[in-house]
A and B are shown apart, each in its own frame.
Chain A
Amino acid sequence: MSPTLLFFRRLFRRKLVLAAALVLLSLLLGALLAPWVTPFKPDAMRLARRLKPPSDVNWLGTDEFGRDILSRIIFGARASLGIGAAVVAVSMTIGTTIGLFAGYFRRLDAPVMRVVDAMMALPDILLAIFLVAVLGASAFNVVFALSIVYTPRVVRVVRASTLVVRELPFVEAARALGVSTRRILGVHVLLNVASPVLVQATFIFAYAVLAEAGLSFLGAGVPPETPTWGTMIASGQQFADDAFWVVLFPGIAIVLAALSLQVLGDGLRDMLDPKLRKAL
Protein backbone atom coordinates (compact mmCIF):
# COMPACT_ATOMS: atom_id res chain seq x y z
CA MET A 1 0.00 0.00 0.00
CA SER A 2 1.31 3.42 -0.87
CA PRO A 3 2.26 5.72 2.04
CA THR A 4 -0.42 8.26 1.06
CA LEU A 5 -3.14 5.64 1.10
CA LEU A 6 -1.87 4.32 4.42
CA PHE A 7 -1.92 7.84 5.84
CA PHE A 8 -5.55 8.37 4.93
CA ARG A 9 -6.59 4.90 6.07
CA ARG A 10 -5.11 5.53 9.49
CA LEU A 11 -6.53 9.06 9.66
CA PHE A 12 -10.03 7.97 8.76
CA ARG A 13 -10.12 4.95 11.05
CA ARG A 14 -12.21 7.10 13.36
CA LYS A 15 -15.58 7.61 11.67
CA LEU A 16 -15.93 11.11 13.12
CA VAL A 17 -12.75 12.27 11.41
CA LEU A 18 -13.96 10.82 8.12
CA ALA A 19 -17.30 12.60 8.55
CA ALA A 20 -15.49 15.89 9.26
CA ALA A 21 -13.35 15.49 6.17
CA LEU A 22 -16.43 14.82 4.04
CA VAL A 23 -18.25 17.89 5.40
CA LEU A 24 -15.18 19.99 4.70
CA LEU A 25 -14.81 18.57 1.23
CA SER A 26 -18.42 19.32 0.34
CA LEU A 27 -18.07 22.89 1.67
CA LEU A 28 -14.93 23.37 -0.41
CA LEU A 29 -16.55 21.87 -3.51
CA GLY A 30 -19.61 24.06 -2.98
CA ALA A 31 -17.37 27.12 -2.76
CA LEU A 32 -15.43 26.19 -5.90
CA LEU A 33 -18.46 25.21 -7.97
CA ALA A 34 -20.80 27.86 -6.52
CA PRO A 35 -22.06 29.32 -9.83
CA TRP A 36 -23.05 25.85 -11.05
CA VAL A 37 -24.55 24.31 -7.91
CA THR A 38 -26.61 27.15 -6.45
CA PRO A 39 -30.33 27.21 -7.31
CA PHE A 40 -30.36 31.04 -7.58
CA LYS A 41 -27.92 33.88 -8.20
CA PRO A 42 -26.67 35.06 -4.78
CA ASP A 43 -27.62 38.69 -5.42
CA ALA A 44 -30.87 38.08 -7.34
CA MET A 45 -33.40 40.21 -5.45
CA ARG A 46 -37.11 39.43 -5.51
CA LEU A 47 -38.78 41.82 -3.11
CA ALA A 48 -42.12 40.02 -3.48
CA ARG A 49 -40.54 37.02 -1.81
CA ARG A 50 -38.66 38.79 0.99
CA LEU A 51 -38.18 37.07 4.37
CA LYS A 52 -39.96 33.88 3.27
CA PRO A 53 -39.48 30.85 5.53
CA PRO A 54 -37.76 27.72 4.20
CA SER A 55 -39.82 26.10 1.44
CA ASP A 56 -39.35 23.72 -1.48
CA VAL A 57 -38.32 26.70 -3.66
CA ASN A 58 -35.96 28.41 -1.24
CA TRP A 59 -34.74 25.52 0.91
CA LEU A 60 -33.33 27.76 3.62
CA GLY A 61 -35.71 30.68 3.10
CA THR A 62 -35.06 34.17 1.76
CA ASP A 63 -33.53 37.30 3.27
CA GLU A 64 -34.70 40.91 3.52
CA PHE A 65 -34.21 41.45 -0.23
CA GLY A 66 -35.80 38.17 -1.24
CA ARG A 67 -32.41 36.64 -2.01
CA ASP A 68 -32.04 32.88 -1.64
CA ILE A 69 -30.21 32.11 1.60
CA LEU A 70 -28.87 28.71 0.50
CA SER A 71 -27.30 30.26 -2.60
CA ARG A 72 -25.77 33.04 -0.52
CA ILE A 73 -24.36 30.56 1.99
CA ILE A 74 -22.70 28.59 -0.81
CA PHE A 75 -21.26 31.75 -2.36
CA GLY A 76 -20.39 32.98 1.14
CA ALA A 77 -18.21 29.89 1.56
CA ARG A 78 -15.90 31.36 -1.08
CA ALA A 79 -15.09 34.43 0.97
CA SER A 80 -15.24 32.77 4.40
CA LEU A 81 -13.15 29.71 3.50
CA GLY A 82 -10.97 31.67 1.08
CA ILE A 83 -10.01 34.17 3.77
CA GLY A 84 -9.42 31.32 6.22
CA ALA A 85 -7.17 29.48 3.76
CA ALA A 86 -5.21 32.63 2.94
CA VAL A 87 -4.67 33.35 6.65
CA VAL A 88 -3.40 29.79 7.12
CA ALA A 89 -1.00 30.11 4.18
CA VAL A 90 0.44 33.45 5.29
CA SER A 91 0.70 32.75 9.02
CA MET A 92 2.15 29.27 8.44
CA THR A 93 4.84 30.52 6.06
CA ILE A 94 5.94 33.45 8.19
CA GLY A 95 5.41 31.73 11.54
CA THR A 96 7.32 28.60 10.55
CA THR A 97 10.27 30.64 9.27
CA ILE A 98 10.47 32.79 12.39
CA GLY A 99 9.90 29.78 14.66
CA LEU A 100 12.70 27.79 13.00
CA PHE A 101 15.15 30.65 13.42
CA ALA A 102 14.09 31.40 17.00
CA GLY A 103 14.39 27.75 17.98
CA TYR A 104 17.66 27.09 16.20
CA PHE A 105 19.67 30.22 16.96
CA ARG A 106 19.83 30.72 20.72
CA ARG A 107 20.56 34.42 20.45
CA LEU A 108 17.33 35.13 18.56
CA ASP A 109 15.19 33.12 20.93
CA ALA A 110 14.62 35.56 23.81
CA PRO A 111 13.88 38.70 21.77
CA VAL A 112 11.56 36.88 19.36
CA MET A 113 9.65 35.21 22.16
CA ARG A 114 9.16 38.50 24.04
CA VAL A 115 7.53 39.98 20.93
CA VAL A 116 5.37 36.86 20.64
CA ASP A 117 4.36 37.24 24.31
CA ALA A 118 3.44 40.87 23.73
CA MET A 119 1.30 40.01 20.72
CA MET A 120 -0.45 37.23 22.59
CA ALA A 121 -1.29 39.60 25.46
CA LEU A 122 -3.94 41.09 23.19
CA PRO A 123 -7.12 39.06 22.59
CA ASP A 124 -7.38 37.81 18.97
CA ILE A 125 -10.44 39.74 17.98
CA LEU A 126 -9.28 42.96 19.65
CA LEU A 127 -5.94 42.96 17.84
CA ALA A 128 -7.64 42.07 14.57
CA ILE A 129 -10.28 44.78 14.84
CA PHE A 130 -7.57 47.32 15.70
CA LEU A 131 -5.54 46.38 12.62
CA VAL A 132 -8.56 46.45 10.33
CA ALA A 133 -9.51 49.83 11.78
CA VAL A 134 -6.07 51.17 10.98
CA LEU A 135 -5.77 49.63 7.52
CA GLY A 136 -9.37 49.92 6.36
CA ALA A 137 -12.00 47.22 5.91
CA SER A 138 -11.33 44.95 2.93
CA ALA A 139 -10.86 41.23 2.35
CA PHE A 140 -7.12 41.75 1.84
CA ASN A 141 -6.73 43.67 5.10
CA VAL A 142 -8.76 41.08 7.00
CA VAL A 143 -6.32 38.41 5.79
CA PHE A 144 -3.39 40.64 6.73
CA ALA A 145 -4.78 41.40 10.20
CA LEU A 146 -5.70 37.79 11.03
CA SER A 147 -2.31 36.58 9.78
CA ILE A 148 -0.62 38.96 12.22
CA VAL A 149 -2.89 37.68 14.96
CA TYR A 150 -2.20 33.98 14.36
CA THR A 151 1.48 34.04 13.36
CA PRO A 152 2.66 34.15 17.02
CA ARG A 153 0.84 30.87 17.71
CA VAL A 154 2.70 29.20 14.87
CA VAL A 155 6.00 30.68 16.04
CA ARG A 156 5.43 29.20 19.52
CA VAL A 157 4.67 25.71 18.22
CA VAL A 158 7.50 25.62 15.67
CA ARG A 159 10.03 27.10 18.07
CA ALA A 160 9.16 24.54 20.77
CA SER A 161 9.52 21.63 18.34
CA THR A 162 12.73 23.07 16.87
CA LEU A 163 14.28 23.29 20.34
CA VAL A 164 13.76 19.53 20.68
CA VAL A 165 14.80 18.56 17.14
CA ARG A 166 17.93 20.74 17.28
CA GLU A 167 19.42 18.51 19.99
CA LEU A 168 18.76 15.21 18.19
CA PRO A 169 21.78 13.20 17.04
CA PHE A 170 20.90 13.32 13.34
CA VAL A 171 21.10 17.12 13.32
CA GLU A 172 24.47 16.96 15.00
CA ALA A 173 25.53 14.35 12.45
CA ALA A 174 24.41 16.58 9.59
CA ARG A 175 26.35 19.47 11.09
CA ALA A 176 29.44 17.29 11.50
CA LEU A 177 29.16 16.20 7.87
CA GLY A 178 29.33 19.84 6.86
CA VAL A 179 25.74 20.25 5.72
CA SER A 180 24.96 23.95 5.41
CA THR A 181 22.85 25.57 8.13
CA ARG A 182 20.34 26.55 5.48
CA ARG A 183 19.87 22.95 4.47
CA ILE A 184 19.75 21.68 8.05
CA LEU A 185 17.00 24.16 8.89
CA GLY A 186 15.14 24.07 5.60
CA VAL A 187 15.16 20.31 5.16
CA HIS A 188 16.14 18.30 8.23
CA VAL A 189 14.56 20.37 10.97
CA LEU A 190 11.60 21.52 8.89
CA LEU A 191 10.53 18.00 8.00
CA ASN A 192 10.67 16.99 11.63
CA VAL A 193 8.52 19.86 12.86
CA ALA A 194 6.04 19.42 10.01
CA SER A 195 3.41 17.42 11.88
CA PRO A 196 2.72 19.90 14.70
CA VAL A 197 2.64 22.62 12.03
CA LEU A 198 0.08 20.69 10.01
CA VAL A 199 -2.11 20.17 13.08
CA GLN A 200 -1.81 23.85 13.97
CA ALA A 201 -2.80 24.78 10.41
CA THR A 202 -6.20 23.10 10.73
CA PHE A 203 -6.84 24.81 14.09
CA ILE A 204 -5.86 28.23 12.74
CA PHE A 205 -8.13 27.65 9.75
CA ALA A 206 -11.02 27.09 12.19
CA TYR A 207 -10.10 30.15 14.30
CA ALA A 208 -9.79 32.29 11.18
CA VAL A 209 -13.24 31.29 9.91
CA LEU A 210 -14.72 32.19 13.31
CA ALA A 211 -12.75 35.44 13.56
CA GLU A 212 -13.63 36.56 10.03
CA ALA A 213 -17.30 36.06 10.85
CA GLY A 214 -16.88 38.08 14.05
CA LEU A 215 -15.09 40.93 12.27
CA SER A 216 -17.65 41.08 9.48
CA PHE A 217 -20.40 41.03 12.09
CA LEU A 218 -18.86 44.05 13.83
CA GLY A 219 -18.59 45.91 10.53
CA ALA A 220 -14.80 45.71 10.58
CA GLY A 221 -14.48 42.91 8.04
CA VAL A 222 -15.19 42.55 4.37
CA PRO A 223 -17.61 45.13 2.89
CA PRO A 224 -21.21 44.26 3.84
CA GLU A 225 -22.36 43.73 0.23
CA THR A 226 -19.98 40.75 -0.19
CA PRO A 227 -21.82 37.62 0.94
CA THR A 228 -19.85 35.94 3.72
CA TRP A 229 -21.35 33.98 6.60
CA GLY A 230 -20.50 36.83 8.96
CA THR A 231 -22.01 39.63 6.84
CA MET A 232 -25.16 37.54 6.30
CA ILE A 233 -25.69 37.28 10.06
CA ALA A 234 -24.84 40.96 10.54
CA SER A 235 -27.34 42.22 7.99
CA GLY A 236 -29.94 39.66 9.00
CA GLN A 237 -29.94 40.30 12.75
CA GLN A 238 -32.45 43.15 12.65
CA PHE A 239 -34.96 40.85 10.93
CA ALA A 240 -34.37 37.92 13.28
CA ASP A 241 -37.53 38.58 15.32
CA ASP A 242 -39.73 37.75 12.32
CA ALA A 243 -37.39 35.58 10.27
CA PHE A 244 -34.97 33.61 12.47
CA TRP A 245 -33.71 31.59 9.48
CA VAL A 246 -31.89 34.65 8.16
CA VAL A 247 -29.54 34.37 11.14
CA LEU A 248 -29.77 30.66 11.96
CA PHE A 249 -28.47 29.04 8.76
CA PRO A 250 -25.32 31.10 8.06
CA GLY A 251 -24.34 30.42 11.69
CA ILE A 252 -24.79 26.69 11.19
CA ALA A 253 -22.47 26.94 8.18
CA ILE A 254 -19.81 28.59 10.38
CA VAL A 255 -20.19 25.93 13.08
CA LEU A 256 -20.01 23.11 10.51
CA ALA A 257 -16.85 24.50 8.91
CA ALA A 258 -15.05 25.30 12.18
CA LEU A 259 -16.12 22.08 13.87
CA SER A 260 -15.03 19.83 11.03
CA LEU A 261 -11.66 21.58 10.82
CA GLN A 262 -11.17 21.08 14.54
CA VAL A 263 -12.16 17.41 14.41
CA LEU A 264 -9.82 16.87 11.49
CA GLY A 265 -7.01 18.65 13.38
CA ASP A 266 -7.60 16.47 16.43
CA GLY A 267 -7.57 13.38 14.24
CA LEU A 268 -4.28 14.42 12.67
CA ARG A 269 -2.74 15.15 16.06
CA ASP A 270 -3.79 11.82 17.52
CA MET A 271 -2.33 10.05 14.52
CA LEU A 272 0.91 12.01 14.25
CA ASP A 273 1.76 12.26 17.94
CA PRO A 274 2.14 8.81 19.48
CA LYS A 275 2.53 10.26 22.98
CA LEU A 276 -0.92 11.81 22.86
CA ARG A 277 -2.52 8.76 21.34
CA LYS A 278 -1.69 6.81 24.46
CA ALA A 279 -3.62 9.29 26.58
CA LEU A 280 -6.84 8.75 24.68
Chain B
Amino acid sequence: MWLTLGRRIGGLIIVMLLVATMVFFLTRLAPGDPAALMLGDQATPEDVARLRAVYGLDKPLLVQFGLWLKEVASGNLGQSIFLQRPVTQALAERAEPTFFLTLFSVSIAALIGIPAGVASAVWRGRAVDQIVSGLAMLAANVPSFWLGLILIQLFAVRLGWFPVAGYGDPGAPLADRLGHLILPASVLGLVNSALITRFTRASMLDVLNEDYVRTARSKGVSEARVVLRHAFGNALIPIITVVGLTAALLVGGAIVTETVFGLPGVGNLVVSAVLRRDYPVIQGALIVVAAVYVLINLAIDVIYTLVDPRVRT
Protein backbone atom coordinates (compact mmCIF):
# COMPACT_ATOMS: atom_id res chain seq x y z
CA MET B 1 0.00 0.00 0.00
CA TRP B 2 2.78 2.45 0.92
CA LEU B 3 4.53 1.68 -2.35
CA THR B 4 1.40 2.45 -4.39
CA LEU B 5 0.86 5.60 -2.39
CA GLY B 6 4.47 6.68 -2.95
CA ARG B 7 4.14 6.06 -6.67
CA ARG B 8 0.90 8.05 -6.76
CA ILE B 9 2.52 10.99 -5.00
CA GLY B 10 5.41 10.86 -7.49
CA GLY B 11 2.89 10.99 -10.33
CA LEU B 12 1.11 13.92 -8.73
CA ILE B 13 4.34 15.90 -8.44
CA ILE B 14 4.97 15.36 -12.15
CA VAL B 15 1.44 16.52 -12.96
CA MET B 16 1.92 19.66 -10.84
CA LEU B 17 5.24 20.37 -12.55
CA LEU B 18 3.52 20.10 -15.93
CA VAL B 19 0.72 22.39 -14.78
CA ALA B 20 3.28 24.97 -13.64
CA THR B 21 5.14 24.69 -16.94
CA MET B 22 1.94 25.14 -18.92
CA VAL B 23 0.81 28.09 -16.84
CA PHE B 24 4.18 29.82 -17.17
CA PHE B 25 4.66 29.40 -20.90
CA LEU B 26 1.03 29.98 -21.87
CA THR B 27 1.15 33.31 -20.04
CA ARG B 28 4.07 34.28 -22.23
CA LEU B 29 1.87 33.82 -25.30
CA ALA B 30 0.27 37.11 -24.34
CA PRO B 31 1.00 39.77 -26.92
CA GLY B 32 3.08 42.65 -25.63
CA ASP B 33 5.68 43.02 -22.95
CA PRO B 34 4.40 42.27 -19.42
CA ALA B 35 6.42 45.17 -18.01
CA ALA B 36 4.97 47.63 -20.53
CA LEU B 37 1.54 46.25 -19.76
CA MET B 38 1.98 46.82 -16.04
CA LEU B 39 3.12 50.41 -16.49
CA GLY B 40 0.45 51.43 -18.96
CA ASP B 41 0.64 53.81 -21.91
CA GLN B 42 2.46 56.64 -20.15
CA ALA B 43 5.62 54.66 -19.45
CA THR B 44 8.96 55.69 -20.95
CA PRO B 45 11.25 53.02 -22.42
CA GLU B 46 13.61 53.54 -19.45
CA ASP B 47 10.82 52.80 -16.97
CA VAL B 48 9.97 49.64 -18.87
CA ALA B 49 13.61 48.55 -18.92
CA ARG B 50 13.95 49.17 -15.17
CA LEU B 51 10.85 47.13 -14.40
CA ARG B 52 12.03 44.36 -16.72
CA ALA B 53 15.22 44.16 -14.68
CA VAL B 54 13.28 44.16 -11.38
CA TYR B 55 11.10 41.25 -12.52
CA GLY B 56 13.98 39.46 -14.23
CA LEU B 57 12.21 39.77 -17.58
CA ASP B 58 15.53 40.68 -19.28
CA LYS B 59 16.94 37.21 -18.58
CA PRO B 60 16.54 34.29 -21.01
CA LEU B 61 13.13 32.63 -20.85
CA LEU B 62 14.38 29.34 -19.43
CA VAL B 63 16.29 31.12 -16.66
CA GLN B 64 13.14 33.08 -15.84
CA PHE B 65 11.17 29.84 -15.73
CA GLY B 66 13.71 28.23 -13.38
CA LEU B 67 13.67 31.18 -11.02
CA TRP B 68 9.89 31.34 -11.04
CA LEU B 69 9.54 27.60 -10.45
CA LYS B 70 11.89 27.83 -7.45
CA GLU B 71 9.76 30.58 -5.96
CA VAL B 72 6.51 28.69 -6.59
CA ALA B 73 7.93 25.50 -5.07
CA SER B 74 8.79 27.43 -1.92
CA GLY B 75 5.23 28.77 -1.73
CA ASN B 76 5.82 32.24 -3.14
CA LEU B 77 3.34 32.94 -5.94
CA GLY B 78 4.58 36.46 -6.61
CA GLN B 79 3.10 39.90 -6.20
CA SER B 80 -0.23 41.06 -7.59
CA ILE B 81 0.17 43.96 -9.99
CA PHE B 82 -3.01 45.74 -8.97
CA LEU B 83 -3.76 44.62 -5.42
CA GLN B 84 -0.41 45.72 -3.88
CA ARG B 85 0.02 42.50 -1.97
CA PRO B 86 1.38 38.97 -2.42
CA VAL B 87 -0.78 36.62 -4.50
CA THR B 88 -0.88 34.06 -1.67
CA GLN B 89 -2.33 36.70 0.65
CA ALA B 90 -4.92 37.77 -1.94
CA LEU B 91 -5.94 34.11 -2.40
CA ALA B 92 -6.10 33.44 1.36
CA GLU B 93 -8.35 36.45 1.88
CA ARG B 94 -10.79 35.08 -0.69
CA ALA B 95 -10.66 31.45 0.40
CA GLU B 96 -13.50 31.43 2.92
CA PRO B 97 -16.53 31.94 0.65
CA THR B 98 -15.10 29.59 -1.98
CA PHE B 99 -14.38 26.89 0.61
CA PHE B 100 -17.87 26.98 2.10
CA LEU B 101 -19.55 27.34 -1.28
CA THR B 102 -17.74 24.22 -2.52
CA LEU B 103 -18.52 22.30 0.67
CA PHE B 104 -22.23 23.16 0.61
CA SER B 105 -22.58 22.61 -3.14
CA VAL B 106 -20.99 19.16 -3.02
CA SER B 107 -23.09 18.20 -0.01
CA ILE B 108 -26.28 19.28 -1.76
CA ALA B 109 -25.22 17.53 -4.98
CA ALA B 110 -24.46 14.29 -3.10
CA LEU B 111 -27.66 14.46 -1.04
CA ILE B 112 -29.66 14.76 -4.26
CA GLY B 113 -27.55 12.60 -6.54
CA ILE B 114 -26.86 9.50 -4.43
CA PRO B 115 -30.44 8.68 -3.33
CA ALA B 116 -31.76 9.58 -6.80
CA GLY B 117 -29.17 7.33 -8.45
CA VAL B 118 -29.87 4.42 -6.11
CA ALA B 119 -33.64 4.72 -6.60
CA SER B 120 -33.16 4.97 -10.33
CA ALA B 121 -31.09 1.77 -10.40
CA VAL B 122 -33.38 -0.20 -8.09
CA TRP B 123 -36.48 0.69 -10.11
CA ARG B 124 -34.71 0.53 -13.45
CA GLY B 125 -36.90 1.32 -16.44
CA ARG B 126 -39.84 2.32 -14.26
CA ALA B 127 -41.33 5.80 -13.97
CA VAL B 128 -38.94 6.78 -11.15
CA ASP B 129 -35.94 5.91 -13.29
CA GLN B 130 -37.25 7.81 -16.27
CA ILE B 131 -38.08 10.92 -14.26
CA VAL B 132 -34.75 10.88 -12.41
CA SER B 133 -32.74 10.30 -15.58
CA GLY B 134 -34.64 13.02 -17.40
CA LEU B 135 -34.14 15.55 -14.62
CA ALA B 136 -30.46 14.67 -14.34
CA MET B 137 -30.03 15.19 -18.06
CA LEU B 138 -31.78 18.55 -17.82
CA ALA B 139 -29.71 19.67 -14.81
CA ALA B 140 -26.46 18.82 -16.58
CA ASN B 141 -27.33 21.12 -19.45
CA VAL B 142 -28.49 24.21 -17.61
CA PRO B 143 -25.84 26.95 -17.51
CA SER B 144 -25.25 27.60 -13.80
CA PHE B 145 -24.98 31.37 -14.22
CA TRP B 146 -28.35 31.51 -15.93
CA LEU B 147 -30.04 29.30 -13.33
CA GLY B 148 -28.48 31.59 -10.71
CA LEU B 149 -29.97 34.70 -12.34
CA ILE B 150 -33.40 33.07 -12.60
CA LEU B 151 -33.38 31.88 -8.98
CA ILE B 152 -32.23 35.32 -7.79
CA GLN B 153 -35.21 36.83 -9.62
CA LEU B 154 -37.59 34.29 -8.15
CA PHE B 155 -36.45 33.78 -4.55
CA ALA B 156 -34.50 36.95 -3.77
CA VAL B 157 -36.02 39.80 -5.80
CA ARG B 158 -39.65 38.69 -5.93
CA LEU B 159 -40.14 36.55 -2.83
CA GLY B 160 -37.42 38.17 -0.73
CA TRP B 161 -36.47 34.87 0.97
CA PHE B 162 -32.73 35.24 0.39
CA PRO B 163 -30.26 38.10 -0.01
CA VAL B 164 -29.84 39.10 -3.67
CA ALA B 165 -26.06 39.02 -3.72
CA GLY B 166 -22.89 39.49 -1.73
CA TYR B 167 -21.44 37.81 1.33
CA GLY B 168 -22.68 40.10 4.09
CA ASP B 169 -20.61 42.29 6.34
CA PRO B 170 -17.15 40.86 7.10
CA GLY B 171 -17.75 41.62 10.79
CA ALA B 172 -21.07 39.76 10.88
CA PRO B 173 -21.30 36.35 12.55
CA LEU B 174 -20.27 33.41 10.37
CA ALA B 175 -23.85 32.07 10.25
CA ASP B 176 -24.99 35.33 8.70
CA ARG B 177 -22.34 35.17 6.01
CA LEU B 178 -23.11 31.51 5.32
CA GLY B 179 -26.78 32.42 4.82
CA HIS B 180 -25.68 34.22 1.69
CA LEU B 181 -24.45 30.91 0.30
CA ILE B 182 -27.79 29.05 0.37
CA LEU B 183 -28.94 30.17 -3.07
CA PRO B 184 -25.60 29.88 -4.92
CA ALA B 185 -24.88 26.50 -3.28
CA SER B 186 -28.33 25.27 -4.34
CA VAL B 187 -27.62 26.28 -7.94
CA LEU B 188 -24.26 24.53 -8.03
CA GLY B 189 -25.59 21.56 -6.06
CA LEU B 190 -28.47 21.09 -8.48
CA VAL B 191 -26.32 21.41 -11.61
CA ASN B 192 -23.63 19.09 -10.26
CA SER B 193 -26.04 16.49 -8.88
CA ALA B 194 -26.55 15.27 -12.45
CA LEU B 195 -23.16 13.60 -12.78
CA ILE B 196 -23.38 12.03 -9.32
CA THR B 197 -26.85 10.67 -10.12
CA ARG B 198 -25.67 9.08 -13.36
CA PHE B 199 -22.58 7.55 -11.77
CA THR B 200 -24.49 6.22 -8.78
CA ARG B 201 -27.11 4.67 -11.06
CA ALA B 202 -24.49 3.04 -13.28
CA SER B 203 -22.40 1.61 -10.47
CA MET B 204 -25.48 0.37 -8.60
CA LEU B 205 -26.67 -1.36 -11.79
CA ASP B 206 -23.28 -3.07 -12.12
CA VAL B 207 -23.37 -4.31 -8.56
CA LEU B 208 -27.02 -5.35 -8.54
CA ASN B 209 -26.20 -7.88 -11.27
CA GLU B 210 -23.43 -9.51 -9.21
CA ASP B 211 -23.72 -13.09 -7.96
CA TYR B 212 -23.41 -12.16 -4.30
CA VAL B 213 -26.46 -9.93 -4.58
CA ARG B 214 -28.44 -12.84 -6.02
CA THR B 215 -27.08 -15.08 -3.24
CA ALA B 216 -28.12 -12.57 -0.59
CA ARG B 217 -31.62 -12.38 -2.07
CA SER B 218 -31.97 -16.12 -2.35
CA LYS B 219 -31.06 -16.68 1.27
CA GLY B 220 -33.93 -14.39 2.21
CA VAL B 221 -32.17 -11.15 3.12
CA SER B 222 -34.66 -8.30 3.04
CA GLU B 223 -34.66 -6.23 -0.14
CA ALA B 224 -33.80 -3.03 1.76
CA ARG B 225 -30.77 -4.70 3.29
CA VAL B 226 -29.70 -6.15 -0.06
CA VAL B 227 -29.82 -2.73 -1.68
CA LEU B 228 -28.37 -0.65 1.13
CA ARG B 229 -25.77 -2.99 2.58
CA HIS B 230 -24.77 -5.58 -0.01
CA ALA B 231 -25.12 -3.50 -3.14
CA PHE B 232 -24.56 0.09 -2.06
CA GLY B 233 -21.56 -0.82 0.08
CA ASN B 234 -19.87 -2.29 -2.96
CA ALA B 235 -20.92 0.48 -5.32
CA LEU B 236 -19.35 3.09 -3.06
CA ILE B 237 -15.94 3.41 -4.70
CA PRO B 238 -17.03 4.95 -8.00
CA ILE B 239 -19.50 7.09 -6.06
CA ILE B 240 -16.77 8.42 -3.76
CA THR B 241 -14.66 9.14 -6.83
CA VAL B 242 -17.31 11.17 -8.58
CA VAL B 243 -18.22 13.12 -5.43
CA GLY B 244 -14.55 13.89 -4.83
CA LEU B 245 -13.95 14.95 -8.42
CA THR B 246 -17.03 17.17 -8.29
CA ALA B 247 -15.58 18.88 -5.22
CA ALA B 248 -12.19 19.25 -6.88
CA LEU B 249 -13.60 20.79 -10.04
CA LEU B 250 -15.97 23.05 -8.12
CA VAL B 251 -13.13 24.88 -6.36
CA GLY B 252 -12.23 26.56 -9.63
CA GLY B 253 -15.36 25.83 -11.61
CA ALA B 254 -17.58 27.97 -9.41
CA ILE B 255 -16.14 31.19 -10.84
CA VAL B 256 -19.18 31.99 -12.94
CA THR B 257 -21.55 31.38 -10.05
CA GLU B 258 -19.44 33.49 -7.69
CA THR B 259 -19.64 36.32 -10.20
CA VAL B 260 -23.43 36.06 -10.55
CA PHE B 261 -23.93 36.14 -6.78
CA GLY B 262 -21.24 38.73 -6.14
CA LEU B 263 -19.40 36.44 -3.73
CA PRO B 264 -15.90 37.73 -2.90
CA GLY B 265 -14.30 34.31 -3.49
CA VAL B 266 -11.34 32.99 -5.44
CA GLY B 267 -13.42 32.86 -8.64
CA ASN B 268 -14.29 36.51 -8.37
CA LEU B 269 -10.62 37.31 -7.80
CA VAL B 270 -9.72 35.40 -10.96
CA VAL B 271 -12.35 37.13 -13.08
CA SER B 272 -11.24 40.60 -12.02
CA ALA B 273 -7.60 39.57 -12.52
CA VAL B 274 -8.46 38.39 -16.04
CA LEU B 275 -10.21 41.62 -16.91
CA ARG B 276 -7.22 43.64 -15.58
CA ARG B 277 -4.61 41.25 -16.98
CA ASP B 278 -3.13 40.75 -13.52
CA TYR B 279 -1.08 37.72 -14.64
CA PRO B 280 0.60 36.81 -11.32
CA VAL B 281 -2.84 36.45 -9.70
CA ILE B 282 -4.18 34.31 -12.57
CA GLN B 283 -1.08 32.10 -12.54
CA GLY B 284 -1.21 31.71 -8.77
CA ALA B 285 -4.90 30.88 -8.75
CA LEU B 286 -4.45 28.26 -11.50
CA ILE B 287 -1.64 26.58 -9.61
CA VAL B 288 -3.51 26.56 -6.31
CA VAL B 289 -6.69 25.20 -7.95
CA ALA B 290 -4.72 22.46 -9.71
CA ALA B 291 -2.95 21.60 -6.44
CA VAL B 292 -6.30 21.28 -4.67
CA TYR B 293 -7.57 19.05 -7.49
CA VAL B 294 -4.51 16.84 -7.27
CA LEU B 295 -4.68 16.63 -3.46
CA ILE B 296 -8.37 15.72 -3.49
CA ASN B 297 -7.52 12.98 -5.99
CA LEU B 298 -4.91 11.69 -3.57
CA ALA B 299 -7.44 11.83 -0.74
CA ILE B 300 -9.86 9.77 -2.85
CA ASP B 301 -7.15 7.12 -3.25
CA VAL B 302 -6.54 7.04 0.48
CA ILE B 303 -10.26 6.74 1.18
CA TYR B 304 -10.41 3.77 -1.21
CA THR B 305 -7.94 1.85 0.88
CA LEU B 306 -9.95 2.61 4.00
CA VAL B 307 -13.29 1.65 2.46
CA ASP B 308 -12.27 -1.34 0.39
CA PRO B 309 -9.94 -3.92 1.90
CA ARG B 310 -9.29 -5.37 -1.57
CA VAL B 311 -7.39 -2.26 -2.65
CA ARG B 312 -5.03 -2.53 0.32
CA THR B 313 -3.20 -5.59 -0.90
Contacts and interface: CB of A to CB of B under 8 A. Distances in A.
Contact of A240 (B141, B153, B249): B153
A134 B143 contact: no
Given A126-B253, A129-B274, A244-B153, A214 B140 contact: no
A187 interface: no
A9 B285 CA distance: 49
A174 interface: no
Nearest to B26: A134
A247 B143 CA distance: 12
Interface string A235-263: 00100110010011001001100110011
A129 B141 contact: no
A262 B142 CA distance: 12
Interface string B269-313: 011011101000010011001100110000000000000000000
Interface secondary structure of A, over-half rule: helix
B76 to A, nearest CB: 20
Interface string A78-120: 0000000000000000000000000000000000001101110
Nearest to A132: B274
Interface in B247-272: 249-253, 255-256, 259-260, 270-271
A134 B29 contact: yes
Given A114-B15, A218-B256, A237 B22 contact: no
B161 to A, nearest CB: 16
B15 A126 contact: no
B55 interface: no
Interface in A257-276: 258-259, 262-263, 266
Nearest to A133: B274
Interface residues of A, number: 45
B149 A247 contact: yes
A118 B16 CA distance: 7
A233 B146 contact: yes
A131 interface: yes
A179 interface: no
Interface string B16-30: 101100110011011
A134 B153 contact: no
B22 A126 contact: no
A135 B277 CA distance: 11
Interface string B126-160: 00000000000110111111110110110001000
A19 to B, nearest CB: 12
A247 B150 contact: yes
B228 interface: no
B302 to A, nearest CB: 18
Contacts of B138: 255, 259
A32 to B, nearest CB: 23
A122 interface: yes
A244 B20 CA distance: 43
Nearest to A119: B22
Contacts of B147: 251
Contact of B271 (A114, A121, A218, A266): A218
A117 B298 CA distance: 14
B205 interface: yes
B32 to A, nearest CB: 10
Contacts of B146: 213, 233, 247, 251, 254-255
B202 interface: yes
A129 B270 contact: yes
A214 B256 contact: yes
Contacts of A247: 146, 149-150, 153
B257 to A, nearest CB: 10
Interface in A121-146: 121-127, 129-136
Interface of A: 114-115, 117-119, 121-127, 129-136, 206, 210, 213-214, 217-220, 233, 237, 240-241, 244, 247-248, 251, 254-255, 258-259, 262-263, 266, 279-280
Interface of B: 11, 14-16, 18-19, 22-23, 26-27, 29-31, 125, 137-138, 140-147, 149-150, 152-153, 157, 202, 205, 249-253, 255-256, 259-260, 270-271, 273-275, 277, 282, 285-286, 289-290, 293-294
Given A118-B19, A126-B252, A129-B271, 15 more contacts: A121-B293, A123-B251, A123-B289, A126-B285, A129-B274, A130-B23, A130-B286, A213-B143, A214-B256, A219-B271, A233-B145, A241-B153, A241-B157, A251-B143, A262-B140
11 contacts: A115-B18, A126-B289, A129-B271, A213-B146, A218-B274, A219-B275, A220-B274, A255-B141, A259-B138, A262-B140, A279-B205
